[in-house]
Chain A
């Protein structure tokens, strides 16, 4: 079973993503901020992380940089999910090593397809 880690501080958004990916057959892990992401991946290495950028404590950019520093995480795909839609934000996100950048609001269906495509 593919493992997915969803990081967002918005409870209601997590609810929908969790439901959708469970339904699609993923093992779902939830983090409320970047610090929790880094904590979880110490024990469970997910195949993909859906990462919000604006989060309390440790933001998405920092989290990604931390992940990319460690060789044992090199196979993890990371998708930014963000309400920041500026070109500069997207560019910055991709430069940090994200595999995709999806802006909010998004279509759950399309997001799931994108994730599956990335994991193939």
Chain B
């Protein structure tokens, strides 16, 4: 046992930690919290409330395997999340949907009544559920401290714990006016709690299974001797199977429809990618959480045989019985975590519905219309704060005065049945175009009435009608009361929904949204285009309304974005359908979709549209969208082509410039020998006294310079021929290594003079290839000549022959200067001169490498230069064409 003040203090400390996590995550907005699929997945575990934490143990010991159905349903449907929830997330994103009430009501024509109805169903279902959490907190608090439940609520510590939670939720749940904004702080705190509750529960499980007992087998063996063991741990044939099936269906719908699940899964989803993590992590979480339910439940039964204790609290009673306060406290805090998360998220989502679907559209809209942005924001936030606070207090009252005698499990199941009444209109919204407002409303009301008459009222009050023949007429004996009511209410609800929807023609607005919901993937890009609206409206009027809620600055910004998106001039003042939808979206998060529509309707004049017209426009817009897609694709292609053209143009310009450079340097090369020849001739002619020795030298100079001239001219002509393909290759079998040696031989003396070291690496198995030997010798000499020039004294040149992928590869490496990187790919260009060479002496005429490349290309090979740490390697490749000749 712990003293009451101490535990209270610990609770305060624990809540402080939560405050801190929420505050910290909100403030830092670090990527860890913001974009973390694990945080998202863990926040979904808000599904596991006190009902899971304590309730399932109670069910496992009282009813046996039934508790599993609550988890099996979700686990079965989770793989389909990728499909279903992606769709719902997309719909919600483009329509700025912030609650399940908005989600359903928008689809059926965005009428405020349906939104209010859904919100009402949620509130009716969830307030007792919140009460149930508070009951768990209160009871475990008393259990931990050994104190008695006080009749005076002011003297009950649990009251104050609830108050603190209410304040915390009201504060953090309303940080943003826009309800579709992500609540980073709260979600981080919930994820943190989910983690804690799992760890604490596992700790308890290990303690009971291995600390108190000797493992699973031991518990099983002892438990199987209990008289009711067998009966509780079988499915009870077809009847039991039927119950199971219905319970699984019930929980399957709950995982979509519970407001807290809709909120964490859809509204708080940041990216669809996170679903991929959730679909394995969440089932794993459920599995781990259920791992020890059975041992704890039956362990408790063995330990407390014959004693009058509530099995729901075995998890605290067992460690207490063995004097382990630490484990008991951990369990208490795990339970507290489960309760708090559920209370916070449920109350936030309910408050959004209460404000956006009931209070604002039915009461506050007119006053909001005439106020300023700041005061409106304040009003909206205050409404939500008050809603959260009062919802939690209501839950507390409910627990104090109505459910004190019920088990956690039954209250939870009843909430499930009520929430399940939304299933036909919810799933119909996503998958069935014909679903209509009338069908949805009738179905939901009928389902709720049945649930109340047959399940909820009998659960709390004793009236005469429960024993009447009419009441019992529908009762299927083999179904549990909950399964029975679930079956009938859903059958009638769904039936009415389908029959009425099929018979009554829907209005155009609902039909419009039906298309948008069911085919969201077609519209996701241009959803505003798919909104149908005809009438007259001025942008300036709508702008004034927007400014009342968003403020001048944000409104201006939003309009700018809109105009940019659709390429509309800023001066344009007539609003079209896209603008109407865009504006409604801007308001939706703050005041709900219905109120947004009402506000916008107030300043616009809408023309009536017939259903066939809607269908025609939709068809057109679909065509438009697909045309748009094509246009986008085409423009994309065009852009690519124009980029290519530009590239080509630039290359041409460069080539042109290179050509100029080349001609320039060729001219230079020609002018140099001509200068020498001219000057020498001049001197020879004018100077009759020139000594014979010098005269001889000068005449020799004239001859050698003339040769040089001829060589340059030959090079140019040769290159030209190679390019034109007029010099056919003389292809023959030859030994490439021998050919290399023929090229090397005349240069060897020069190598020695410069003290260059030459080495060879031969990795060839077969040295015979097919090539034009004369031309290849020319290539080798050219490369070797280059290497000789650049290698500098004491350098080295190495040649390597190898075969790679069926091609001959000859690498000639020389030490010395590397080639500037920007020149590497151009040095083989015919008209290329390195930019530095324009000032410094060009090495050769700049034709040698171009000639080499043409020769190798003519062979079907190639040449490339690669810079190495201490020099350059020229890599020559030739195809192995042994087999061709």
Q: Please report A residues at the B interface, Cβ cutoff 8 Å.
A: 9-10, 12-13, 15-17, 19-20, 23, 53-57, 59, 61, 83-86, 104-109
> CB < 8 Å: which of B674, B675, B679, B840 contacts A55?
B840
Known contacts A16-B676, A16-B680, A20-B679; 5 further A-B pairs (Cβ under 8 A): A15-B701, A23-B687, A83-B675, A104-B671, A105-B674
Measured between C-beta atoms, what is the minimum distance from B475 to chain A in Å?
105
How distant is the Cα of A23 from the Cα of B671 in the complex, in angstroms? 25
B488 interfacial by beta-carbon distance below 8 Å: no
A109–B682 CB distance below 8 A: yes
Is A15 in contact with B841, judged by CB distance below 8 angstroms? Answer: no
The answer to whether A16 and B683 have CB atoms under 8 Å apart is yes
B697 beta carbon closer than 8 Å to chain A: yes
Q: Contacts A83-B672, A104-B675 hold; do A54 and B840 have CB atoms under 8 A apart?
A: yes
CA distance A75 to B698 in the complex (A): 34
Query: A86 near B664 (CB under 8 angstroms)?
Result: yes
Q: Which of B675-722 contact A (CB under 8 A)?
A: 675-680, 682-683, 686-687, 694, 697-698, 701, 704-705
Tell me the complex Cα distance, A102–B61, Å. Answer: 111
Contact B683 A59 (CB under 8 A): no
Closest 4 CB pairs of A and B: A83-B671, A16-B679, A105-B675, A12-B676
B683 touches A20 (CB 8 A): yes
Residues of A within 8 A of B671 (CB): 83, 85, 104-105
Q: Which residues of B contact A107 (CB under 8 A)?
A: 678, 682
A94 to chain B, nearest CB (A): 17
Query: Do the beta carbons of A13 and B682 come within 8 Å of each other?
Result: no
- Say if the beta carbon of B164 comes within 8 Å of chain A: no
CA distance A86 to B672 in the complex (A): 15
Is the CB–CB distance between A61 and B839 below 8 Å? yes
- Chain A residues, Cβ within 8 Å of B682: 16, 107-109
Q: What are the interface flags for B612-644 relative to A under an 8 Å C-beta threshold, 1 for contact and 0 otherwise?
A: 000000000000000000000000000000000
> Are the C-beta atoms of B675 and A13 separated by less than 8 Å?
yes
Check B667 for interface membership: any CB of A closer than 8 A.
yes
A19 with B683, Cβ < 8 A, contacts A85-B667, A104-B671, A105-B675 known: yes
Encoded as 1 (CB less than 8 Å from any A CB) or 0, chain B from 482 to 501 comes to 00000000000000000000
A104 and B704 alpha carbons, distance in the complex (Å): 18
In the bound complex, residues from chain A placing their C-beta under 8 Å from that of B667 are 83, 85
Which of B676, B687, B842 is in CB contact (< 8 Å) with A10? Answer: B676
11 pairs, A vs B, C-beta closer than 8 Å: A10-B675, A15-B701, A20-B679, A55-B841, A57-B840, A83-B668, A104-B671, A104-B674, A105-B679, A106-B678, A109-B682
| Most A C-beta atoms less than 10 A away, residue of B672, B677, B838 | B672
The answer on a CB contact under 8 Å between B697 and A105 is no
The A-B contact count (CB < 8 A) is 76
Chain B 656-671 interface residues, beta-carbon cutoff 8 Å to A: 664, 667-668, 671
Q: Are B676 and A13 in contact (CB under 8 A)?
A: yes
A35, B664: Cα distance in complex, Å: 25
Closest partner residue, chain A, to B678 (CB atom): A105
Is A56 a contact partner of B701 (Cβ separation < 8 A)?
Answer: no
Q: Which residue of B lies closest to A60 (CB)?
A: B839
Question: How far, in whole Å, are A20 and B680 apart by their CA atoms in the complex?
Answer: 10
Determine how close the nearest CB of chain A comes to the CB of B442; give it in whole angstroms.
89
* Distance from A31 Cβ to chain B, minimum over Cβ atoms (Å): 14
Partner of B698, one of A15, A17, A56: A15
CA distance A59 to B837 in the complex (A): 10
- B668 contact from A55, A84, A108, Cβ within 8 A: A84
Does A56 lie within 8 Å of B841, measured CB to CB?
A: yes
A12-B701, A54-B668 known; A106-B841 Cβ under 8 A: no
B residues in contact with A20, CB < 8 Å = 679, 683
Contact status A106-B675, CB under 8 Å: yes
**How far does the Cβ of B789 sit from chain A's closest Cβ, in whole Å?**
11
A89 nearest CB neighbor, chain B only: B664
Please name all residues of chain A whose beta carbon is closer than 8 Å to the beta carbon of B679 when the two chains form the complex.
13, 16-17, 20, 105-106, 108
Residues on the A chain within 8 Å of B842, using CB: 54
Query: Which A residues are in CB contact (< 8 Å) with B680?
Result: 12, 15-16
B255 → chain A closest CB, angstroms = 78
Give chain A residues whose Cβ lies under 8 Å from the Cβ of B673: 12
Q: Which of A56, A108, A109 contacts B840 (CB 8 A)?
A: A56
- In the complex, chain A residues whose CB is within 8 Å of the CB of B686: 108-109
A83 to B669, alpha carbons, bound, how many Å? 8
- For B664, the chain A residues whose CB sits under 8 A away are 84, 86
- B482 CB to nearest A CB, Å: 95
B701 closest partner in A (C-beta): A12
CA distance A119 to B123 in the complex (A): 108
Query: Bound state CA distance, A18 and B841, in angstroms?
Result: 21
Query: Which residue in chain B gives the minimum CB-CB distance to A13?
Result: B676
Q: By the criterion CB–CB under 8 Å, are B841 and A9 in contact?
A: yes
Chain A neighbourhood of B676, CB < 8 A:
10, 12-13, 16
